[in-house]
């Protein structure tokens, strides 16, 4: 009976010490911070959309435009 009481008492002391250790370590390291993990960059895609006109036979507007430039040159 006397030994049982000693065992229970010692077990309680172990629990209290373990709790205090965990609490203290948490306070010690709680200041650790982290940086944002992502970054972004931006670009642009350019395009010029034209619709085929059907002029000059079955040429497309783009082909006709190229021919026009060639004639001027």
Partner 1 sequence: MMEEKISNFIIAILAIAIVILGLLLIWRVPVIRMAGMATDTGTVSATVSIENSITITDAAVNLGTIITGQSNSSDSGSDWFVIENNGSVRIDLNMEVDETNLTAAASEIYCKCVSGSNQSGQCPITNYTNCESTEDGSILIATCLKDADAVDEVNAGVNLSVALTETAGAKTLATTFTATTNQSSSCTSS
Q: Is 68 one of the binding residues for partner 1 (CB under 8 A)?
A: no
Q: Locate 22 and state its tokens.
A: 């965990």
> CB-wise, 39 or 72, nearer to partner 1?
39
Q: Nearest to residue 63, comparing CAs of 2, 47, 53?
A: 53
Half-sphere exposure for 4 (CA within 13 Å, toward CB) = 1
Quick note: the x/- pattern for partner 1 over 29-58, rule CB under 8 A, is: ---xxxxxxxxxxxxxxxxxxxxx------
Q: Is 5 one of the binding residues for partner 1 (CB under 8 A)?
A: no
> CB-wise, 4 or 72, nearer to partner 1?
4
């Amino acid at each position: 009976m006397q030994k049982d009481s000693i065992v229970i008492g010692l077990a309680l002391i172990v629990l209290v010490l373990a709790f205090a250790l965990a609490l203290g370590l948490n306070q010690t390291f709680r200041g650790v911070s982290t940086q944002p993990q992502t970054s972004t960059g931006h670009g642009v895609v350019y395009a010029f959309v034209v619709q085929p006109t059907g002029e000059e036979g079955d040429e497309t507007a783009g082909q006709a435009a190229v021919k026009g430039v060639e004639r001027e040159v």
